Structure 1
Amino acid sequence: MTDHPYSALTPDRILDAIEALGFHCDGRVTALNSYENRVLQVGIEDATPLIAKFYRPNRWSIEQIQEEHDFCAELAAAEFPLVAPMMLPTGSSLHQDGEFTLAMFTRFGGHAPELDNLDTIELLGRTLGRLHATSQQKDFQYRPHIDIQSYGTDSRTFLLENDFIPTSLKEAYDSLTRDILSVIQQRFDACHYTSTRLHGDCHPGNILWRDDKAVFVDFDDCRMGPAIQDLWMLLSGDRQDQMMQLEALLEGYEMFCDFDDAQLVLIEPLRTLRMMHYAAWVARRWQDPAFPKAFPWFNTERYWAEHILDLREQFAMLQEAPLTRISGNM
């Protein structure tokens, strides 16, 4: 048996855990595209299949996972479109099976939104405005913040101390990321924002588009942070394209929630922190056999050379003026 968090999560263990909740499985189990947790489609006798999510042990505390579920329930009560955890026959949305915390979800189909359509982006802005109008009503007590320390400094330290970066590139990464974090710190210090509860990982893959509506999934990374964190990943293309998208996004967003334009200065810092955090995330999970299979290019000199080049480009972006609204409404 290999020494990784999911070595004990055998097919029999999966089915036993789900049937212990009162569901009658038909034996069909299909792994879905998830690496941090184990997410599976499970066949149910004479019923629609369900989605089972086994949280990675020791990543979040029970209090933090419960807070995620409570946030989802709060959003659902406000009629926000999301796939929320099911309330189980036990009366809770969480079930503990040994070292594993299990949640169940209804199956929902859809595709990623078309971000080259400004009408779609405006609708996404309205939807995120509704999300934040609800999320601003209180704060998380247990979930962490999106910040420079956890996303940037800790990621940098882990990579430098654990021999993932080739020796020939380590000095370049060391000096470059030191300079990057210094500039990012200046940007954050200059932006006095109010943190709010966030989806936290609001990329198009976590938005299911169906019947001209957006339905949000996977609140596993929900945290406290600046509202712009849930918006910037919907922007793409060159500067002019992004400004047009930003205009449409905020036009929709402000139908439901105010937005502080001072946060626009954080777009490139947050993008850069996400890049650093992503590289460290894969490195931290490298002993999980799913990761070398999914990311075979990661532990190569070519990857790190390209990663450092991407960070150099981001360092240049950090020197440029932040995005603004085309309307100039600041």
Structure 2
Amino acid sequence: MRCQDYASDDTGYTGRQIHGGSEFMTEHSDNVISGHPYDALKPDALLDAMEDAGFAVSGRLFALNSYENRVYQIGLDEGPPVIAKFYRPGRWTEASIREEHSFTKELEAADIPVVAPLTLPNGDTLGQSGPFRFAVFPQRGGQAPDVSVEDTLYRLGQWLGQIHNVGAARKFSHRPDLSVASIPTGIEQNNELLLKGNWVPRDLRPAWDSLMVDLLRLCRTRINDAGNINALRLHGDCHAGNILCREERMLFVDLDDCRSGPAIQDMWLLLNGEDSERGAQLGEILEGYEMFRPFERRERHLIEPLRCYRQVSHCAWLAKRWDDPAFPRFFPWFGQPRFWSDQILSLREQLSALQAPAISLPGQY
């Protein structure tokens, strides 16, 4: 008999908190439900979905920290708990989720430490319950890597080189494309969404609009400096929060942002500090990376355009998700004049970064 014990906890599985790419909303559920789609995802519905998929659940579940999807730790009658991810309805097509799962399984088969979805009792990795598609993962613990340690960056570079070798073996057909050409286009599209929704306060619009013109111009200049860059399958959101370390083992998690793009996309989010520090950090990553595959140094010119793209995309992501009750609760400052003043200040700093030379690697002048 199921004994219901519902609780909420923000530890354990690390869900995606900052969305780094343009939304990929091409398919919506045929199931029409009133209110926000997640209104229908009640505890009983979660547990029923797991039981229908073949799991003997104990009734104990914890909501974990994830905004885009809904992620839960679910107890089983026997064995350790599992992690169930319920994908946001309308966010991804079935084909795109299956490509995520397939890519993760490819990485797992290549002995790359990723947390891949479990195969359900019916032989599939993707479950369906009403309007919700879901996947189940083994529970894994750990801490974010200390990227200030050179050896950690070197090891991350080794794993990224191997991930990208698998990624370069074939192409995505149904996942988003973060090609070099799509960066300014994505900034423009997300900016248009913000303006049409009247999210930027009227008195700040002149400063915002002027910044967008200058940022796009400089992004295009940097992209021209990079030249022709090949795209490959990527993790897509490779920051320290999506890597778990336990003892000497690293685990890459949360590949639901995997996409095609330049290799540097999986590196720059691991860098921090002043330009000289970030250059040294990238050098450590590349020392490990180039043990497994070459890296085109011209990709350094894409770091600041990608950072600009991520910042504007994050604002647009919040705007798109504002009808989800979780977002006003967790991001109450969004839409306030102070938020947009801070964004303008941050984008001015980004403008300065785009005007400066690309970061130098050790021994490079």
Quick check: 2:236–2:266 contact (8 Å CA) kept in 1? yes
Given the alignment, which residue of 219, 225, 229 partners 2:255?
219
In the alignment, structure 1 residue 129 sits paired with structure 2 residue 161: yes
In the alignment, structure 1 residue 167 sits paired with structure 2 residue 221: no
Quick check: 1:81–1:214 contact (8 Å CA) kept in 2? yes
Shift of 1:175: 1.8
In the alignment, structure 1 residue 86 sits paired with structure 2 residue 118: yes
Query: What residue is the counterpart of 2:270 in the other structure?
Result: 234
Q: Deviations over 1:95-129 (max 9, x none)?
A: 11121101000000001000111111111111111
Describe how 1:133-282 pairs up with structure 2 within 5 A.
133-146=165-178, 147-148=182-183, 151-190=186-225, 191-282=227-318
Query: What residue is the counterpart of 1:97 in the other structure?
Result: 129
Quick check: 2:62–2:72 contact (8 Å CA) kept in 1? yes
Aligned partners of 1:104 and 1:150: how far apart in 2? 35
**TM-score when normalising by structure 2:** 0.88
Quick check: 1:26–1:43 contact (8 Å CA) kept in 2? yes
Aligned partners of 1:23 and 1:129: how far apart in 2? 36
Query: What residue is the counterpart of 1:49 in the other structure?
Result: 81
Aligned partners of 2:362 and 2:213: how far apart in 1? 33
Q: Deviations over 1:241-295 (max 9, x none)?
A: 1111111110011111110001000011101110111111111101101111111
Shift of 1:177: 1.1
Aligned partner letter, 2:334: F
Query: What residue is the counterpart of 1:306 in the other structure?
Result: 342
Q: Which deviates the most, 188-197 or 256-265?
A: 188-197
Given the alignment, which residue of 111, 136, 142 partners 2:143?
111
Aligned partner letter, 2:46: I
In the alignment, structure 1 residue 317 sits paired with structure 2 residue 349: no
Shift of 1:182: 1.9
Given the alignment, which residue of 52, 65, 82 partners 2:97?
65
Quick check: 2:184–2:219 contact (8 Å CA) kept in 1? no
Query: What residue is the counterpart of 1:326 in the other structure?
Result: 362
Describe how 1:19-34 pairs up with structure 2 within 5 A.
19-34=51-66
For the structure 1 residues 203 and 90, does the alpha-carbon distance in structure 2 shift closer, same or farther, using more than 3 Å as the test? same
Aligned partners of 2:325 and 2:58: how far apart in 1? 27
Given the alignment, which residue of 18, 41, 54 partners 2:50?
18
Quick check: 1:160–1:174 contact (8 Å CA) kept in 2? no
Shift of 1:2: 6.5
Quick check: 2:72–2:84 contact (8 Å CA) kept in 1? yes
Shift of 1:149: 5.2
- Find the residue that maps to 1:80 and give its secondary structure: coil
**Aligned length in residues:** 329
Aligned partner letter, 2:317: W
Aligned partner letter, 2:284: A
- Find the residue that maps to 2:344 and give its secondary structure: helix
Q: Deviations over 1:152-177 (max 9, x none)?
A: 11110010110111111122112211
Q: Which deviates the most, 148-157 or 313-322?
A: 148-157
- Find the residue that maps to 2:347 and give its secondary structure: helix
Query: What residue is the counterpart of 2:17 in the other structure?
Result: none
Quick check: 2:223–2:302 contact (8 Å CA) kept in 1? yes
The RMSD of aligned alpha carbons is 1.3
Query: What residue is the counterpart of 2:3 in the other structure?
Result: none
Aligned partners of 2:99 and 2:73: how far apart in 1? 24
Shift of 1:138: 0.8
Runs of 5+ consecutive residues of structure 1 not aligned to the other structure: none
Shift of 1:5: 2.0
Given the alignment, which residue of 294, 297, 302 partners 2:333?
297
Aligned partner letter, 1:48: P
Runs of 5+ consecutive residues of structure 2 not aligned to the other structure: 1-32
Shift of 1:178: 2.1
**TM-score when normalising by structure 1:** 0.97
Shift of 1:298: 1.2
Q: Percent identity?
A: 47
